[in-house]
Amino acid sequence: MATVTATPADDRVGTRSTLSTVLARPEVGALIGAIAVATLFLAVAPAFRSVGNIGTILYGSSTIGIMAVAVAMLMIGGEFDLSAGVAVTTSGLAAAHTAWWFGLNVWAGVFIALLISLAIGAFNGFLLHKTGLPSFLVTLGTFFVLQGVNLAMTRLITGGVSSNSLRDLDGFDSAKAVFAADFSLGPVNVKIPVVYWVVFTVIAAVLLLRSRYGNWIFAVGGDSAAARAVGVPVVATKIALFMGVGLAAWLLGMHLLFQFNNLQSGQGIGNEFIYIIAAVIGGCLLTGGYGSVVGASVGALIFGMTQLGITYAGWNPDWFRTFLGVMLIASVLVNMFVKRKAEG
Amino acid sequence: MAALEDTRVESTDRPVLELEDIGKSYGNVNALRGVNISVRQGEVTCVLGDNGAGKSTLIKIIAGLHEYTEGTMKVGGVIRQFNSPRAAQSLGIATVYQDLALAPLMAVWRNFFLGNEVRKGPFLDIETMKRVAGEELTKMGIVIPDLDRPVGSLSGGQRQCIAIARAIYFGAKVVILDEPTAALGVKQSGVVLKYIVAARDAGLGVIFITHNPHHAYLVGNHFVILKLGRVALDAHRDELTLEQLTGEMAGGQELDELSHELSAADPGKVAPAHEVAHGGVPAPGLGDDERDGAEPGDDAPRRTE
Ligand SMILES: Nc1ncnc2c1ncn2[C@@H]1O[C@H](COP(=O)(O)OP(=O)(O)OP(=O)(O)O)[C@@H](O)[C@H]1O
Ligand SMILES: [Mg+2]
């Protein structure tokens, strides 16, 4: 190359302090929120202080966190999935109905449910690509379709609103051991979804920040035209993200099915917003291209703590949703404030 | 930059890129019609033309963002129709888009390697990527102390340099630059022009798209002027002076008219300060006789840039 004279460093740009580098991380707002919520309930709710309740709090958080991680990845990739809440129920029902109806080994039902969940995700992504409609609309459609399917298929197969018990089928015990086991860790009783949640978060975080695919996710969410122009396979990336939500829905659906032995066909509606809120509390931008799965998990933890903290504090649990709404807006404001401080 | 050296061997008299009667329509808009262009390695081919002339459309076809609707495009003598930018890249065609194609919230080094990530096993080799991105940018005279900064927080010129450095680093045969100097100051424009020369000397074919005949004439071997989607001029440097190029760009006679009109403008004059009601400034140069003759897309004389 010809020699191009290097200009001296621009002396207007100071190096950023370590503090502002730390503050610029997307999950900072969620961490501050989590500490605030924990402090509040530690102060007002004596039961919150008991070590034995940690397991309960983590369990509540994990049932949100498993989904919130996948939803956060999708949001970083610039899309929403409003069908995520009912998709959990669809997955559980798919396993229950197929295994019961055909008298299959429970594991066959579990496997069929996995295929169905991945297919729903792929379908969402494909429809998004083919129609060019916003994912908000496409998945709103899927949300209603699945809601109807859940109710109608359950009525058709069982004549009621809940799936039949699988207890007598082959493979039930081993499936329960995989999806709904628990164990003791000192004084804390740990339910298996907590482990899945942590593993899921770690895998997602590594994927997002340390793999080529993660780079593509940020790029398609930040500017999909730019990503396509430099050769990122935008459509494949987005379809994979929707399938990731499907995978998480399957995992949670299997847990719920084997934890309670049956599922209600109307379950899960409205949870999609809880997942999105957890992701937003965790620092995801609604416009895509920015966010963190660790943040989303901390967001889920805030949910878990609040849910139980309100009960432990002896407050009327009717206030739970109000509290969440306030948390959501507060954390978004904190995120904005922290980001501006860190960049300014 | 070993990748650049390799291509010298391949450089022959045969054009690396040939467009024959290329046409592109967006629905009922014929953005390009019957365009013939040859690009050789080791040469700078300048494409000039007014706003909306079809320059960006042309490069988007070559870069694989759009498919052409008429004619043929040959790369290395083989007829190609790219269905994705990846296809074009794999044949050694790299592009710097007018809108730069950078993801604003992503770090500088991530943008630099977007689509061409360096990996160590299954994971990103972040250290190497940061180092290379820093080195390549320093070569362009841009020092960004913190490569973790989001690209959106950099100046337009810095972003341009990232996009150019990236294209040159990853481009093996042909580099396309869509109006790289349009938003830059004098010094940064100079750096970009030097880079164009450097890429040419390294044996790449450079397609340089610009509004500015002065910039084009400084580095170009070969000039193509597009007008309303057609090639209005296709000339080698030997056949053309800067004055002629500028004249052809503006449409010769139109430029004379412009200088005539502006001679009445009295550049030295300072007008007394006034407040003007909305719509109180009349449209410039629209005399009664001219109003009918004004064609859309033919408004070169009134451009204010
Ligand atoms: N996606 C599109 N759909 C319809 N028409 C388009 C599209 N893109 C470009 N055009 C039209 O094609 C013509 C050529 O546009 P193009 O962007 O190639 O011009 P240009 O020479 O790059 O202009 P500029 O100097 O402003 O960048 C214009 O008339 C434009 O309106
Ligand atoms: Mg253009």
The CATH number for B17's domain is 3.40.50.300
CB of B52 within 6 A of ligand 1: the answer is yes
Q: Which of B171, B196, B217 is the last residue of a domain?
A: B171
Residue-wise pLDDT for A211-229, tens only, equals 999 999 999 999 998 898 8
Euclidean distance between CA atoms B244 and B234, whole angstroms:
12
Which residues face B79 on adjacent strands?
Answer: B74
Contacts with A31 (C-beta within 8 Å, 6 or more apart), sequence order:
A295, A298
Determine if ligand 1 sits within 6 Å of the CB of residue B54.
yes
Answer yes or no: do B138 and B160 share one domain.
Answer: yes
Residue A12 in any domain: the answer is no
Residues 32-71 of B with CB under 8 A from A: 63, 65
Specify the number of domains making up chain A. Answer: 1
What gap in Å lies between CA B105 and CA B128, rounded to an integer? Answer: 21
Which range marks the domain in which residue B25 is found? Answer: 10-58+71-92+172-255
Helix H, strand E, coil C: the string for chain B is CHHHHHHHHHCCCCCCEEEEEEEEEECCEEEEEEEEEEECCCCEEEEEECCCCCHHHHHHHHHCCCCCCEEEEEECCEEECCCCHHHHHHCCEEEECCCCCCCCCCEHHHHHCCCCCCEECCEECHHHHHHHHHHHHHHCCCCCCCCCCEHHHCCHHHHHHHHHHHHHHHCCCEEEEECCCCCCCHHHHHHHHHHHHHHHHCCCEEEEEECCHHHHHHHCCEEEEEECCEEEEEEEHHHCCHHHHHHHHHCCHHHHHHHHHHHCCCCCCCCCCCCCCCCCCCCCCCCHHHHHHCCCCCCHHHCCC
How far A14 CA sits from the closest chain B CA (Å)? 8
Neighbours of B187 (CB within 10 A): 10
Q: Identify whether B287 is part of a domain.
A: no
Nearest CB neighbour to B104, from listed A1, A6, A223: A223
Same domain, B155 and B144: yes
On whether both B129 and B180 belong to a single domain, the answer is: no
The CATH number linked to A118 is 1.10.3470
- The answer to whether residues B158 and B184 belong to one domain is no
User: Are B162 and B227 found together in one domain?
Assistant: no
Minimal Cβ distance to B146: which of A16, A215, A231: A16
**B102 contact residues in A (CB cutoff 8 A):** 223, 226
B172 vs A contacts (CB less than 8 Å): none
Same domain, B115 and B157: yes
Got the DSSP string for A253-317?
A: HHHHHHHHSS-BTTTTTTHHHHHHHHHHHTT--TTSS---HHHHHHHHHHHHHHHHHHHHTT--G
Domain containing residue A64? 28-337
**Could you tell me if residue B121 is inside a domain?**
yes
In this complex, is the C-beta atom of B117 within 8 Å of any C-beta atom belonging to chain A?
Answer: yes
Residue A197 resides in a domain: yes
How many angstroms does the Cα of residue B179 sit away from the middle of ligand 1?
A: 14
Q: Looking at B171, B204, B234, which one is the last position of a domain?
A: B171
B164 and B228 together in one domain: no
Domain boundary among B153, B171, B189: B171
Is there a contact between B116 and A232 if contact means CB atoms under 8 Å apart?
A: no
Q: Is residue A260 part of a domain?
A: yes
Residue B133 lies in a domain: yes
- Tell me the CA–centroid distance for residue B105 and ligand 1, in Å: 27
Q: pLDDT tens for residues A191-205?
A: 999 999 999 999 999
Q: What percent of chain A has pLDDT over 70?
A: 91
The answer to whether the CB of B228 is under 6 A from ligand 1 is no
C-alpha span between A29 and A331 (Å, rounded) = 6
Neighbours of B17 (CB within 10 A): 23
Report how far residue B187's alpha carbon sits from residue B183's, in angstroms, rounded to the nearest whole number: 12
Per the domain annotation, does A36 fall within a domain?
yes
Q: Which ligand is nearest to the CA of B66?
A: 1
Tell me the pLDDT of chain A averaged across its residues.
90
Residue A324 has pLDDT above 60, yes or no: yes
Q: Do B85 and A230 touch (CB under 8 A)?
A: yes
B contacts of A13 (beta carbons < 8 Å): 144-146
Count of structural domains, chain B: 2
**C-beta of B210 in contact with ligand 1 (< 6 A):** no
pLDDT above 80 (res A13):
no
Is B267 a member of any domain? no
Amino acid B143: pLDDT: 79
Tens of pLDDT, residue by residue over A245-287, are 999 999 999 999 999 988 999 999 999 999 999 999 999 988 8
Question: Are B167 and B184 contained in the same domain?
Answer: no
Residue A15 lies in a domain: no
User: What number is the average pLDDT over the span A282-299?
Assistant: 92
Q: How many angstroms separate the CA of residue A130 from the nearest CA in chain B? A: 16
Cβ-nearest to A2 among B63, B117, B197 = B197
Contact A13 B119 (CB under 8 A): no
Ligand 1 atom 5 nearest Cα:
B26
Q: Is residue B301 part of a domain?
A: no
For residue A6, being part of any structural domain is answered with: no
**What pLDDT is stored for residue B8 in this prediction?**
39
Q: Do B124 and A219 touch (CB under 8 A)?
A: no
Q: How confident is the model at residue A2 (pLDDT cuts 50, 70, 90)?
A: very low
Domain identity same for B166 and B212: no
- Residue numbers of chain B with a pLDDT score lower than 70: 1-13, 100, 172, 251-267, 276, 279-305
**B181 and B221 co-located in one domain:** yes
Are residues B188 and B243 located together in one domain of the fold? yes
For the CA of B305, the nearest ligand: 1
Same structural domain, B191 and B202: yes
